[in-house]
Structure 1
Amino acid sequence: MNSNNSNSRRQVAYVSIIGTTQLHLRNPYVIAWWSAAFPGLGHILLSKYIRGFLLFVWEVVVNVNAHVNLAILYTFTGRYELAKEVLDTKWLLLYCSIYIFSIWDSYRTTVDINNNYILAAREDAEIRPFNLSAMEFNYLDKRSPLISSLWSLLMPGAGQIYIHRIATASFTLIWWIAILYFSRTLPAIHYTFVGDFQQAKEVVDPQWLLNISSVYLFAMYDAYTNTVENNKLFDWEQSKFFKRNYEHKNFNLPSKRRANRGDKLHIIATFEHSIYLEKAISAIQMKGIEKEDILAVSMDKRAEERKLFDTMHSSDGLSLIDLAAILGTILMLLGTIYGFILKQGPIFWALVGLLGGFALGLIIKLYMTKKYSNRQGNQKTPEVVLIIECNKDKIEMVKETLWAHYALGVRKLSLE
């Protein structure tokens, strides 16, 4: 049976062929908000797929039959009598209780997951970073949060494919296509870009169109945050691997006392956490360096000032993207609603709301957390120190191998 090794009661993560499921700290208010935006989304963020998918489908079915989105549109545009007439009370009363349950349950589940994560992190159980089957394989690796979010903005679900969240990707892609089709958004986009705003208003179905803002921004937010957390998980697992295999207590640390003890010298190199580091170590071992002569030490990171955007090598998690995604969703929805009474139509004002809300969220976060600093934001930081003891005749081979695998710095240590 191919399962992650653990005798512990809790695990931080599980790598399967359909994705990486992991525990990590989340803001329960943010998760609850996504459930309020669209029931099921908060649970999908938590990787509670069955519950999340059921609530999502329930929201679509009941909302469509109760005409909730149409009532929202008429209410916000001041047509209150139409809002009353369009609602189907047989479905509406069914809608309310599950809607509130979705918000409450996602908040409660987030609190429970946070508590279990703290206990799992203390148990420090091992995980298997690679899972291979006859149909598919999955592995931990470093990926760019910016790239995953951009792919999701181009096509919701594509960012999840990039980070191998197959369950979320499949569900998001199917429903995104369904929402686009029933809302007739693509013809409306065409008419908007050719300047036929009246036709853009007439062609769309408002009941389905109002779903787009929540699903669209959710796909971007989910891809971004899970890329960040997967990168952190990769660093954590690789640190444990080095500690277990390349921190031998009998390693001959360099010192002046042993500086002249024959042909033995030390090479010191620094790396970021990456798969290339493991490739460098394995390549050096294949060329005759014993495992006991390699010391790999992952460095504890000091709390850093936060950066504008997370990268695959540096992240403070949900630093900016949470509020930006929330405000982008809200203003995109409002732009869609009021676009029906404004000249340029719902597509144009939805895009304006999306860009304006996202930018506003970034600005507010920048102000609240005082993120502007004089720090060199693009400078790479060493995360692992590698020390290799070898004979003089292998010095150049070791150095070339380290440079070929993207070492940040390499130096032969001479204490003579």
Structure 2
Amino acid sequence: MAAVRRFDIIYAQRRNPFMVAWWSASFPGFGHLLMYKNTTGVLLTLSEVIINSLAKINLAMVYSFSGNFAMAKQVLHPNWLFGYMFIYFFAIWDSYRCSIEANKHYELAMLENGRIPVHLMRSTGIQFLEKKRPLIAAYCSFLFPGLGQLYNKHIWLGFYGIFWWWIYLTFSHFYEALMALILGHNRMVISILNPQWLMFMPSVLGGAMYHSYTSSIEQNRLFRITQRQHLTDYYEKARIASMNGTETNSPLWMIGTFEHCTELEQALSMLEHSGIHPARIRPVLMDVHADKSLSIVDQRFDRTAKSVEIGFASATACSVFGISLGFILEWGPIIWGLIYGFGGFLLGFGIGLLIKSKHSLPHQKHKLPEVTVLVQYLNEEEAELIHETFWRYKAITVGRIDRQHANPAL
């Protein structure tokens, strides 16, 4: 269940309801954005910024975490606070509920195995599914929230995040404080920073990194599904057509193993362009685990993905404490926020490694082949062509079955 749109790629995705609820607690609306309920998510994030600022909740949190409870009571505005509480807890409950329902629809979509569109060409641009690097996406969001979403082709959400990050930077005076810190004026940092706006930033930064990281993994999963569907549909039709006489009885085979990647389709297209009939090409979809549902996960990130997700959540929470304490400690909010954030990530990552999931792959030292391609060849010239093409387009291994191996009696 996925759709490629002009300014976005949206898809159903299995989510942990508790993790969705956590991000709604961190910043109301984030949980809905994780499930691509963009309208609800955007409106909730806007209400969070507006009402939180009017009620001075972030400022009260800074005073509370630093032990100044009298000032926390003084700065709060009760007339805004009580309304805020209703919206806050509704966002948590609704995102949790929607996540459970969305997971049911996700499972139905997987069972139906419906075909997914992979390209969209319009005057506004070209959208298509491609493999992503989750760590690159998270790093882009770390540098500037919204860039990771643009990397994943969530155009509207990316520019929405960029716009609001500029707002937080401007009103918190973060860059000015950072410059003072770099120049060694540590005592000026606290007086420059605006804690009300600064306290929005850990949740936004952590949420953006989490969203971009998990979206990249999900797009990789969708890429594998669509490629498997294409290979099955296209070459099965060619095999059926070959039964009418176009199939050769040659026992000579070249064999290549691949990961799911665009280069695999390039290799097969190049072979067809070179005169090898599709009926002589047999892609075999490999299972990397006894549970076939795990054959479409990203081998390189599945083992640590949950740990990284928990690490992002833990880092966000800890950095909020670090920033608050930084207003009364010597090194200031920026340094203590980074220290607590980094420590929180390590803590969450370690906890994630200890949690065993039934949906995770066993550890493998090397990546396993996900598609094995068998190509019949008629002579040594074709064999050399296939051999070179496989290696040129990133085959993991290449081998051959010649006439002697195919017919041991000979």
Q: Scaled by the length of structure 1, what TM-score is found?
A: 0.89
2:11 aligned with 1:29, yes or no? no
* CA distance in 2: counterparts of 1:223 and 1:24, whole angstroms: 13
2:173, 2:192 within 8 Å by CA — same for their partners in 1? yes
**Paired residue for 2:139?**
150
Cα deviation for residue 375 of structure 1 reads 5.1
**Paired residue for 2:218?**
229
Cα deviation for residue 127 of structure 1 reads 1.0
Query: How many residues are treated as equivalent by the alignment?
Result: 392
2:96 aligned with 1:121, yes or no? no
Q: How does 1:54-69 map to 2 (within 5 A)?
A: 54-69=43-58
2:392 aligned with 1:404, yes or no? yes
| Higher mean C-alpha deviation, range 182-191 or range 294-303 | 294-303
Cα deviation for residue 412 of structure 1 reads 2.0
* CA distance in 2: counterparts of 1:44 and 1:375, whole angstroms: 32
Q: 1:116 to 1:311 in 2, by over 3 A?
A: closer
Cα deviation for residue 380 of structure 1 reads 2.2
**Paired residue for 2:294?**
none
**Paired residue for 2:346?**
359
**Paired residue for 1:349?**
336
* CA distance in 1: counterparts of 2:350 and 2:182, whole angstroms: 29
Kindly provide the amino acid, as one letter, of the partner of residue 283 in structure 2: A
SS at match of 1:391: coil
1:213, 1:329 within 8 Å by CA — same for their partners in 2? yes
Cα deviation for residue 196 of structure 1 reads 1.9
**Paired residue for 2:77?**
88
| Higher mean C-alpha deviation, range 268-277 or range 152-161 | 152-161
Cα deviation for residue 354 of structure 1 reads 1.0
1:302-332 C-alpha deviation (Å, 9 max, x unpaired): 069xxxxx96865358421121011100110
1:131, 1:137 within 8 Å by CA — same for their partners in 2? yes
Q: 1:316 to 1:165 in 2, by over 3 A?
A: farther
Counterpart among 169, 188, 210 of residue 177 in structure 2:
188
Structure 1 unaligned regions, length at least 5: 1-11, 305-309
| Backbone CA RMSD of aligned residues | 2.4
Q: Scaled by the length of structure 2, what TM-score is found?
A: 0.90
2:307, 2:351 within 8 Å by CA — same for their partners in 1? no
2:138, 2:213 within 8 Å by CA — same for their partners in 1? yes
Q: 1:385 to 1:247 in 2, by over 3 A?
A: farther
Q: How does 1:285-300 map to 2 (within 5 A)?
A: 285-300=272-287
**Paired residue for 1:201?**
190
* CA distance in 1: counterparts of 2:284 and 2:65, whole angstroms: 59
Kindly provide the amino acid, as one letter, of the partner of residue 38 in structure 1: F
* CA distance in 2: counterparts of 1:250 and 1:316, whole angstroms: 39
Q: 1:41 to 1:80 in 2, by over 3 A?
A: same
1:36, 1:99 within 8 Å by CA — same for their partners in 2? yes
**Paired residue for 1:111?**
100
**Paired residue for 1:47?**
36
* CA distance in 1: counterparts of 2:369 and 2:299, whole angstroms: 14
* CA distance in 2: counterparts of 1:224 and 1:36, whole angstroms: 19
